[in-house]
């Protein structure tokens, strides 16, 4: 408020209330002009409500009771306006009335000098008002089962998580809090892709599906795209899409590693980002070359909600198994045992093994072993995806997909020899 230093404190606060209230009123005025239904208020009404809230709290000397009574009175006027709206138009939307109550609170927050809170409240209000079409469209596309799964996951994440002990248990140094944090992180990244596939209108594009699928699970995406290539033609498009999904896998791994082991992330960031750029770039160029069009999929990718409790518990169980297996492999067979285990686990789900490597003991030697093991697991995963594509893809795309995946797998092993 230094730019208004020539004004009394109350003067600068009044200007701030008017500015914030006017923003909400401006958005509602635009809505009123573009809507056939009766709409409450606009660029004049909302600033008046904000000023009323500010003035009541100011003259009451900070006593909240008059401010609460003013809230009730404003609410009564809004209720009356709402009754007339329903009576005259039959439209029962209450968004404008609720935003008016929020505007009243903004005036009180500014008077209490909670300027950051008031600004944040206005920004959130305007976002909710402006994104009406997007939010309502997303709500329609996300089914009740998805909402229930998300609610259950929130329960376990926000209620159960703080109760878990944050200490290493057993000889394998298993930390229950860390395990569940990893479940939350891996599932959260996958869920972001899942929601985008459910809501974004371009989710039926082959290349867009490949990008989102790589975030969700590049293995699942490879299987789905390979099967679809038999019925939709254009082998180059599907081959490039599978390569893109596998390239995005490396970016996904960089994000997950950065959340739980910064040293390991720095060790692998350059090769992984390089592989991501190379695979996605070449995959895109290969897809658009000689392609008639990047036609949409006949059906959207069918992926399972990653926040299902069964999926979350399975990941946690596999993570514990990988920690124990890695411990025994290193103890009895040395680094060769860990690398063998990495190659085997890459043939299934690579995430539990990669996350188990983030919990390896600190030290230069163990860091190199963990990094190399992750490189091997990722290369092994690309190899098995190439095999899947060879047996599941159309006749025209199976060989080229296998060759590209073998090449990506081989490129992914080069950093190991550089480390040596």
Number of domains in the chain: 2
32, 161: one domain: no
SS3 for 219-275, per residue?
HHHHHHHHHHHHHHCCHHHHHHHHHHHHHHHHHHHHHHHHHHCHHHHHHHHHHHHHH
Q: What is the pLDDT of residue 412?
A: 94
Distance CA 148, CA 146 (A): 5
**Block residue for tokens 């350059």:** 270
Task: Compute, in degrees rounded to 10, the torsion defined by CA atoms 357, 361, 362, 368.
Answer: -50
Structural domain span for residue 413: 143-419
255, 281: one domain: yes
94, 154: one domain: no
In contact, 372 and 419? CB cutoff 8 Å: yes
Number of helices and strands (H, E) in the chain? 15, 0
95, 173: one domain: no
Tokens of 187: 């599932």
Name beta bridge partners: 169.
174
In a domain, 384, yes or no: yes
Distance CA 258, CA 162 (A): 22
In a domain, 75, yes or no: yes
In a domain, 137, yes or no: no
31, 105: one domain: yes
Q: DSSP class of residue 418?
A: H
Distance CA 237, CA 243 (A): 10
248, 163: one domain: yes
Alpha helices in 261-347 (DSSP H): 262-288, 309-345
| CA dist list (Å): 232 to 225, 282, 379, 393 | 10, 21, 29, 11
In a domain, 135, yes or no: no
In a domain, 136, yes or no: no
Q: What is the pLDDT of residue 420?
A: 47
In contact, 206 and 237? CB cutoff 8 Å: yes
In a domain, 138, yes or no: no
385, 308: one domain: yes
Q: What is the pLDDT of residue 39?
A: 63
In a domain, 404, yes or no: yes
164, 260: one domain: yes
83, 153: one domain: no
Calculate helix-pair angle for 350-357, 364-392, nearest 10 degrees: 170
Question: pLDDT per residue over 61-99, tens digit each?
Answer: 878 899 999 999 998 988 888 887 777 776 667 788 888
Q: What is the pLDDT of residue 324?
A: 87
- The residue from 75, 107, 130 where one domain ends is 130
- The residue from 130, 165, 198 where one domain ends is 130
In a domain, 212, yes or no: yes
198, 126: one domain: no
Q: What is the pLDDT of residue 364?
A: 46
Distance CA 375, CA 412 (A): 6
* Summary mean pLDDT of the chain: 82
- The residue from 130, 165, 194 where one domain ends is 130
R_g over Cα of the chain:
28
116, 223: one domain: no
Count CA atoms closer than 13 A to 316's CA, side-chain side: 19
**Which residues does 41 contact at the CB level (< 8 Å), separation at least 6?**
25, 28, 32, 49, 96, 100
149, 120: one domain: no
Q: How many CB atoms lie within 10 A of CB 419?
A: 13
Question: pLDDT per residue over 360-405, tens digit each?
Answer: 655 445 888 999 999 999 999 999 999 999 998 888 888 999 999 9
Query: How many residues belong to the chain?
Result: 420
Report angle CA 223, 153, 221 to the nearest 5 degrees.
Answer: 10
**Which residues does 280 contact at the CB level (< 8 Å), separation at least 6?**
211, 243, 244, 247, 248
Long-range contacts of the stretch 189-198 (C-beta < 8 A, 24+):
189/215, 189/252, 189/255, 189/256, 190/215, 190/216, 190/217, 190/306, 191/150, 191/305, 191/306, 191/307, 194/303, 194/305, 194/306, 195/138, 195/142, 197/300, 197/301, 197/303, 198/138, 198/141, 198/142, 198/146
Listed as ranges, residues in the chain with pLDDT below 50 are 1, 202-203, 298-299, 363-364, 420
Distance CA 108, CA 115 (A): 10
């Amino acid at each position: 408020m230094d730019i208004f230093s020539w004004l009394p404190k109350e003067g600068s606060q009044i200007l701030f209330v008017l500015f914030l209230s006017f923003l909400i009123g401006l958005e509602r005025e635009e809505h009123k002009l573009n809507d056939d239904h009766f709409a409450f208020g606009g660029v004049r009404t909302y600033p008046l409500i904000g000023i009323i809230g500010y003035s009541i709290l100011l003259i009451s000397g900070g006593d909240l009771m008059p401010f609460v009574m003013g809230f009730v009175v404003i609410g009564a006027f809004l209720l009356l306006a709402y009754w007339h709206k329903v009576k005259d138009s039959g439209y029962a939307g209450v968004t404008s009335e609720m935003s008016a109550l929020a505007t009243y609170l903004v005036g009180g927050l500014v008077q209490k000098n909670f300027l950051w809170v008031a600004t944040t409240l206005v920004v959130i209000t305007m976002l909710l008002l402006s994104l009406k079409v997007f939010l309502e469209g997303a709500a329609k596309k996300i089914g009740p089962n998805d909402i229930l799964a998300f609610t259950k996951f929130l329960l376990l994440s926000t209620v159960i998580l703080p109760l878990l002990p944050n200490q290493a248990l057993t000889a394998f140094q298993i930390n229950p809090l860390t395990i569940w944090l990893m479940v939350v992180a891996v599932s959260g990244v996958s869920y972001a892709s899942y929601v985008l596939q459910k809501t974004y209108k371009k989710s039926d594009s082959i290349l867009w599906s490949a990008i989102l699928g790589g975030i969700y699970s590049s293995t699942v995406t490879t299987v789905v795209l390979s099967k679809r290539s038999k019925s939709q033609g254009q082998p180059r498009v599907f081959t490039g899409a599978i390569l893109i999904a596998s390239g995005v896998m490396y970016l996904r791994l960089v994000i997950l590693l950065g959340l739980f082991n910064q040293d390991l992330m720095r060790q692998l960031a350059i090769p992984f980002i390089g592989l991501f750029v190379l695979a996605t770039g070449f995959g895109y160029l290969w897809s658009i070359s000689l392609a008639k069009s990047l036609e949409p999929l006949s059906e959207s990718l069918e992926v399972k909600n990653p926040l299902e409790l069964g999926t979350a518990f399975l990941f946690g169980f596999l993570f514990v198994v990988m920690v124990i297996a890695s411990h025994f492999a290193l103890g009895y067979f040395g680094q060769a045992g860990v690398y063998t285990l990495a190659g085997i686990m890459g043939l299934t789900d690579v995430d539990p093994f990669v996350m188990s490597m983030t919990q390896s003991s600190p030290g230069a030697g163990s860091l190199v072993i963990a990094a190399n093991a992750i490189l091997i697991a990722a290369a092994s995963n690309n190899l098995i995806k190439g095999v899947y594509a060879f047996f599941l893809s159309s006749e025209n795309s199976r060989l080229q997909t296998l060759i590209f995946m073998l090449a990506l797998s081989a490129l992914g092993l080069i950093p190991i020899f550089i480390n040596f």
